Amino acid sequence: MKVTKAQAMENRQRIVETASVLFRERGYDGVGVADLMGAAGFTHGGFYKHFGSKADLMAEAATYSFTQSAEESSQADMADFVRHYLSRKHRDAPGTGCTMAALCTDATRQSEPVKEAFAAGIEKQLDTLTHHDVAQSESERREARAKHIAMIAQAVGALVLSRSCPDDSPFADEILETCCSDILSHLKSASKD
């Protein structure tokens, strides 16, 4: 039975969505093509009808998950975003959570297209978070951007550190709570300026 173009596009999208979750849960090396295709409901042999390589899928899945994250974070104000990001709920759901926290260390050992997808995704997330700023001058925009880069780095680092601790560890919660309080404090003092 021949697959229509529309069905082929839907199948490809299902593979990308499935890969996005599995890669964030298990890392790039923790997911084989056969497992991934099975989870998406397809046979291993169909993979190369859609993608030239696993690296191509990794880049596309990263782009997809970064776009998803940017859309979700654009709906919240900065304080709500930080509270959600540094929550136990987000920490315990890497498959549907932040791509940066789940895969940045894996991406450092991948091909240039995967790294490029990460750079573009991180930039997209940064743009989404800075859309709340009303900085007027070029120097104000640079300063706001620098503050957001530092905030993203602290939040991602906190989530990664927390996830590296045992699930029931009080220290895992302490990391999240400490960094959340620190970032919220910086946001509050910045809003007073």
Task: Average the pLDDT over each of 80-89, 96-105, 110-119, 138-147 and give the range with the smallest value.
Answer: 138-147
* Structural domains in the chain, sorted by start: 54-192 (1.10.357.10)
Q: Quick check: pTM over 0.75?
A: yes
pLDDT in tens, 162-181: 999 999 999 999 999 999 99
Tens-place pLDDT, residues 137-154: 888 888 888 999 999 999
Q: Is 91 helix (H, G, I), strand (E, B) or coil?
A: helix
Q: What is the DSSP secondary-structure string of 65-106? A: HHHHHHHHHTTS-HHHHHHHHTSHHHHT-TTTS-HHHHHHHH
Cβ contacts of 3 within 8 Å, gap of 6 or more: 11
**SS3 call for 119:** helix
Is the predicted pLDDT of residue 22 greater than 90, yes or no?
yes
pLDDT at 193 > cutoff 70: no
Q: Strand, helix or coil at 25?
A: helix
Predicted pLDDT at 133: 65
pLDDT in tens, 106-127: 999 999 999 999 999 999 998 8
Residue 129 has pLDDT above 70, yes or no: yes
Percent of the chain with pLDDT over 90: 75
